[in-house]
C-alpha cells in the first residue's frame, strides 16, 4: 500500500503490481503525482468505461436521434439492418482504436451493398462525434470512401417487359420449409413452417399496376392513409389517399385488384419490410429460373408501359380536372385546392394490358372498406 500526505491531504493507493520491479515503477509514478496516480487496474477499468463500442445501446441511441431529427421509420429500419453486420464484426472493439485497414477488412467480409453499409456506418460515427464520444482524429471512417453509385440507365432500359413481370408474379408462390435445413436439402418429414407470399404479391400489384413507391405502400399499410371503396365509377374501384413526407397528400385511383391488395395490407397493419421482399424476389428467381425483379424498377416499368401503351380511364361520372377547379374558385395555385379537397378528388387511372394472375390470390376479391386517418 502507498500513502502520502500532500498539502494536508492524504492519498492512499493499493498497488496491483506482481513483481518488485513493477512495484518500484508504480512507486515512482505515485511519488511524482499522488493526486493523479491511478493503478493499472484502475486505468484499464476507466478505458473500458470510456470505450466507444457499436453495441445495442449505442445503436438504439443513434436511431432515437434519427427519429428526433424527423427521419422516417422505413429509413431507420434500413439503417438498422446495415448496422447489424457492423455490430457483429466490431461490436467488442473500441472505435477509437479501429484503423482504416480494419474497417476495410470487416467490410470485405460482408456480402454486397457496400455503399449502403458505409453510409450507415459513417452516419453512426457522425452521431458519435456530435455527442463528443469520438473525435475527428479518432474516427478512421472519415477516410473510408463511399463508392460511387453507377449512373442510372435510361428509363426505357430500366423497364421490365410485361411478359417477364407476369411470369414472375405467377411464380410468387407460398412455400413450406423445416428450420435448420438448407433450402435445397429439405427433409420429406418434419415440423414445417409455411411462408405466405400473399403480402409480397400485394406489394407487387401496387407497384406494378399503380407505380407506387415502397414508402407510400408502407405508410398506407400502417394506417397513415385512407382507402375509399367506390361504386358506380366504372373500372375505378376505389381510391388510395396517403400523405407525403412534405405533409401534402396524394390520391391514386385503382382497379379492383389493386384495391383488394391495399385492403389486405392495411388490415395486416404493415407491409413486408425491404429485406424480406428482396429475399422473396431472389428465392422466386432461383426457384423459377427467371431473372430477378427489383421492386424499385416496377415504378419505372409502370411509367414506361403507361406512356407507350396505356389507356387513361376517367371516372364514369366524369369530373373536372383539379387545375380547372382551382381556376374556377380563384385559388392562385393548385396546391391550395389539393390541400383542402384532394381527399374527395377521384383522378383518372392508367389502364395497362398487364395481367397479374396467381392461383393463390383470393377469388373473388373481398369487398370491405378499411378507413384510417
Confidence of residue 207 (pLDDT cuts 50, 70, 90): very high
* Radius of gyration of the chain, Cα coordinates, nearest whole angstrom: 30
Using pLDDT thresholds of 50, 70 and 90, give the confidence band for residue 157: low
Q: In whole angstroms, what is the distance from residue 135 CA to residue 153 CA?
A: 40
136-151 per-position pLDDT tens digit: 999 999 999 887 766 5
- What's the pLDDT score for residue 372? 41
Query: What's the pLDDT at 183?
Result: 57
Q: Which one is predicted more confidently, 4 or 261?
A: 261
pLDDT above 70 coverage of the chain, percent: 68
pLDDT number for residue 368: 47
* pLDDT of 275 over the 70 cut: yes
Residue 189's pLDDT is: 66
Q: Could you tell me which residue, 328 or 81, shows the higher pLDDT?
A: 81
pLDDT tens for residues 276-295? 999 899 999 988 999 999 99
> Tell me: the pLDDT tens digits for 216-243?
999 999 998 889 998 888 899 999 988 7
Share of the chain above pLDDT 90, in %: 36
pLDDT tens by residue, 79-116: 888 888 888 888 778 888 889 998 899 888 887 788 88
Give the integer Cα–Cα distance in Å for 219 and 373.
11
Q: Residue 64 pLDDT more than 90?
A: yes
The predicted pLDDT at position 89 comes to 83
Mean pLDDT over residues 345-360, rounded? Answer: 89
The average pLDDT across 201-222 equals 94
Cα–Cα distance measured from residue 219 to residue 107, given in angstroms and rounded to the nearest whole number: 32
pLDDT of residue 206: 96
- For all residues of the chain together, what is the average pLDDT? 79
Mean pLDDT of 261-271: 95
Residue 254 has pLDDT above 80, yes or no: yes
pLDDT the model gives residue 58: 87
What is the dihedral sign for C-alpha 277, 282, 286, 289? Answer: positive
Tens of pLDDT, residues 2-60: 455 544 455 565 656 566 676 677 667 666 766 666 666 655 555 555 677 888 888 89
Q: Which of 88-92, 127-131, 253-257, 285-289 has the lowest mean pLDDT?
A: 88-92
Residue bearing the bigger pLDDT, 336 or 20: 20
370 confidence band (pLDDT: 50, 70, 90): very low
Cβ(225)–Cβ(244) below 8 Å: no
Residue 1 near residue 30, CB atoms below 8 Å: no
- pTM of the model as a whole: 0.54
Closest among 170, 86, 153 to 357, alpha carbons compared: 170
Is the pLDDT at 202 greater than 80? The verdict is yes
Q: What is the pLDDT of residue 369?
A: 45
Amino acid at each position: 500500500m502507498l500513502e502520502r500526505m500532500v498539502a494536508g491531504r492524504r492519498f492512499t493507493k493499493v498497488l496491483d503490481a506482481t513483481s518488485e520491479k513493477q512495484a518500484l515503477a508504480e512507486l515512482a509514478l505515485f511519488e511524482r503525482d499522488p493526486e493523479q496516480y491511478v493503478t493499472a487496474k484502475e486505468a484499464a477499468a476507466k478505458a473500458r468505461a470510456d470505450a466507444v463500442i457499436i453495441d445495442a445501446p449505442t445503436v438504439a441511441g443513434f436511431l432515437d436521434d434519427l427519429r428526433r431529427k424527423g427521419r422516417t421509420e422505413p429509413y431507420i429500419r434500413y439503417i438498422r439492418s446495415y448496422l447489424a453486420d457492423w455490430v457483429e464484426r466490431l461490436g467488442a472493439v473500441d472505435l477509437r482504436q479501429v484503423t482504416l485497414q480494419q474497417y476495410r477488412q470487416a467490410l470485405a467480409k460482408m456480402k454486397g451493398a457496400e455503399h449502403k453499409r458505409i453510409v450507415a456506418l459513417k452516419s453512426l460515427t457522425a452521431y458519435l462525434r456530435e455527442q463528443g464520444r469520438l473525435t475527428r482524429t479518432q474516427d478512421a471512417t472519415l477516410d473510408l470512401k463511399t463508392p460511387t453509385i453507377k449512373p442510372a440507365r435510361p428509363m426505357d432500359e430500366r423497364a421490365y417487359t410485361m411478359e417477364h413481370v407476369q411470369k414472375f408474379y405467377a411464380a410468387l408462390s407460398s412455400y413450406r420449409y423445416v428450420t435448420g435445413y438448407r433450402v435445397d436439402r429439405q427433409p420429406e418429414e418434419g415440423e414445417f413452417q409455411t411462408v405466405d407470399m400473399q403480402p409480397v404479391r400485394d406489394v407487387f400489384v401496387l407497384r406494378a399496376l399503380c407505380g407506387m413507391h415502397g414508402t407510400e405502400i408502407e405508410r398506407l399499410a400502417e394506417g397513415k392513409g385512407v382507402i375509399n371503396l367506390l361504386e358506380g365509377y366504372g373500372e375505378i374501384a376505389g381510391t388510395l389517399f396517403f400523405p407525403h413526407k412534405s405533409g401534402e397528400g396524394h390520391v391514386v385511383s385503382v382497379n379492383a385488384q389493386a384495391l383488394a391488395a391495399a385492403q389486405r395490407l392495411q388490415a395486416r397493419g404493415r407491409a413486408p419490410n425491404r429485406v424480406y421482399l428482396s429475399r422473396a424476389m431472389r428465392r422466386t428467381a432461383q426457384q423459377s429460373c427467371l431473372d430477378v425483379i427489383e421492386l424499385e424498377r416496377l415504378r419505372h416499368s409502370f411509367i414506361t408501359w403507361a406512356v407507350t401503351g396505356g389507356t387513361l380511364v376517367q371516372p364514369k361520372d366524369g369530373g373536372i380536372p383539379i387545375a380547372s377547379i382551382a381556376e374556377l374558385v380563384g385559388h392562385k395555385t393548385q396546391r391550395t385546392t389539393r390541400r383542402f379537397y384532394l381527399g374527395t378528388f377521384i383522378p383518372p387511372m392508367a389502364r395497362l394490358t398487364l395481367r397479374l394472375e396467381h392461383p393463390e390470390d383470393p377469388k373473388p376479391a373481398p369487398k370491405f372498406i378499411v378507413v384510417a386517418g
